[in-house]
Structure 1
Amino acid sequence: MWELRLFKTMDRGVSELAPRLAAAEVDVQRLVETGMEALLGVRFLASEYSTGPVHAGRIDSLGLDANGAPVVVEYKRGTDPGVINQGLFYLSWLVDHRSEFEHLVGDKLGANAAAQVLWSGPRLICVAGDYTRYDLHAVREHRRSIDLVRYRFFGRDLIGLETVATVAGRPTQGRRVQHKGLAGMGPERLVELAAAADEVLLGLGDGITKVQRKHYSAYRRLQNFASICPPQRTKVHVYLSLDPADIDLVPDFTRNVTGLGHHGTGDLEVRLRTERDLERAQDLFRSSYTAA
């Protein structure tokens, strides 16, 4: 059930914009595909992707998330008890056709992106009008990473998205080596500081998934909200998905890295040297988590 109420301010008060479902499923699909990276944190690759004559199906949308994980997106106008099973059906097909997907990624995003596809964490994102309690229970019984997202249209040009369930799943065997994380890297003090930051990020709320890449650890709700890089000589770098223009930057603590190359995702860099730095960074961590 959609609980958010949205109002338009007017000279003589406010007018409520009543939530509504799309007239057709394709209306939701077209809108999400047009703004997929902003809405879901996923780079759009293909629409209505054919699974061939034997499988005889079409995947609504294919994408690649910020960590390089393959993503299947399935849409339903309202409540449909088959959306999860249908999506998992297509996700299994995708995992069995890795080379075909990597070829698609190479064509759309380049050879470097294709070489770094994270097959240990393929994802299914369902976007629907609503879900039943059986859906919410079912996602927790699967080993795959699944996100259930509820949508509503407001007025003529507004859409709201609400993540109602996020399950990390269990890693599947991939061709790439899984790394052990931060342990044993850098001075012991910085390793402990990185571990403390990890604990803070994972403790911000429910539905947080940690994704381990070669050069960073990412923390995700529906989208990445933070990344931690291995400790350097004197500091730990944390990158947050916040607009640096909205932040009062503090020299040698926070930095705008928009357009600058770095490992991890996010445009706001936070430098941690001491436990005090971690304490004053926690409001920024929480703001990035809330916005994800």
Structure 2
Amino acid sequence: MFNVAGGGAAEVVPATAVRERHLQELVERNMEALLGVRFLASEYSTGPRHGGRIDSLGLDENGAPVIVEYKRGQSAGVLPQGLFYLSWLTDHRAEFQLLARERLGAAAAAQVLWSAPRLICVAESFTRYDVHAVREIQRNIDLVRYRYFGHELLALETVVSVTSPAKERRAMRKRDRAATSSAQPCAAGGPLAELREALDDVLVSLGDDVTQVERKQYRAYRRLRNFACVSRTHKQHVLVYLNTDPQEVDLVPGFTRDVTNIGHHGTGPLEVRLRTETDLERAVPFFHLGYAAA
């Protein structure tokens, strides 16, 4: 990274946090903007039996419980520590839901997605052994590298993001096709099912860090944050909600719509309505914008 103010080019050298706690406090103050996670608690005690403190607890935009662990330098110990706390979390669901209810309200607590609790590890760097271990473990884990540039810039880079195994994704597709077929018995495996499958292929292919989260009303595609949500509630077309600023695109009636102030399932202020493969091709640039913003 270079500072080109005044016509020159001065390199801005990356640096680590002065103290781990400084990094943690910064992320917690801005957790929703940085990670797409609503902050719940800091240094949360796991009680005398487990004898630990979870750095940060939160709830992501799909309702999944989130543990965030930080390391100022290299990742030594952060992954096994985070897995220990992840196991604690799944054994203390009632305690977490009570916390979510106190901080975010009854509606948020009632929608907690226990099928996909997440661990986010934030560190200066990770080893290849960390990356390999995460892929082998097949839990919902994100390894995120941070860098400071000067006093005003913080960069977060996803090193690896893992959710469900490929076989589960295939099962998800099978369920989607079955749902479409039951809704349209005369068009089993017809155009709408094919369009949904083609859309899935396009969204997954945007990057190696794309993962999916299943909710009853929608399927989310995310990096650290959601960039697209595909609604399950429409039978005549496919609605996609993107993490894209509607003011950055030319809205076309019947194809794209600003839903910033309109309630809908999933996240994202830009609605894209797909009816045909041609619509899908037209929408690809919007998908790229959403992916880049996540």
Aligned to 1:88: 83
Aligned residues with identical type, % of pairs: 61
Equivalent runs, 1:67-216 vs 2, <5 Å: 67-169=62-164, 180-181=175-176, 183-185=178-180, 186-187=183-184, 188-216=190-218
Among 2, 10, 33, the residue aligned to 1:7 = 2
Report the residue type matching 1:192 in the other structure.
E
Aligned to 2:20: 25
User: Residues 248-272 of structure 1, C-alpha deviation per residue, up to 9 Å, x if partnerless?
Assistant: 1111111110021100111110000
Q: Distance in 1 between matches of 2:92 and 2:291?
A: 34
1:231: Cα distance to partner? Answer: 5.7
1:181: Cα distance to partner? Answer: 3.3
1:16: Cα distance to partner? Answer: 2.1
1:233: Cα distance to partner? Answer: 4.4
Aligned to 1:263: 265
Structure 1 pair 105/12, CA: closer, same or farther in 2 (3 Å)?
A: same
Report the residue type matching 1:211 in the other structure.
V
Secondary structure at the counterpart of residue 85 of structure 2: helix
What CA RMSD, in Å, does the superposition of the two structures yield over aligned residues? 1.7
User: Residues 177-223 of structure 1, C-alpha deviation per residue, up to 9 Å, x if partnerless?
Assistant: xx933533344422322222112111222122111101011111111
CA contact (8 A) 1:181 1:217 kept: no
CA contact (8 A) 2:212 2:219 kept: yes
Q: Which runs of 5+ in 1 are unaligned?
A: 1-5, 172-178
Among 48, 53, 73, the residue aligned to 1:58 = 53
Report the residue type matching 1:132 in the other structure.
T
Name the structure with the higher helix share. Answer: 2
CA contact (8 A) 2:217 2:233 kept: no
CA contact (8 A) 1:190 1:231 kept: no
1:274: Cα distance to partner? Answer: 1.2
Among 223, 240, 243, the residue aligned to 1:241 = 243
Secondary structure at the counterpart of residue 263 of structure 2: coil
Q: Which runs of 5+ in 2 are unaligned?
A: 167-173, 185-189
Count matched residues: 280
Q: Which moved more, 1:91-100 or 1:221-230?
A: 221-230
Report the residue type matching 2:204 in the other structure.
L
Structure 1 pair 123/170, CA: closer, same or farther in 2 (3 Å)?
A: farther
Q: Which moved more, 1:207-216 or 1:231-240?
A: 231-240
Structure 1 pair 91/170, CA: closer, same or farther in 2 (3 Å)?
A: farther
Pair 1:41-2:26 in alignment: no
Q: Distance in 2 between matches of 1:149 and 1:70?
A: 17
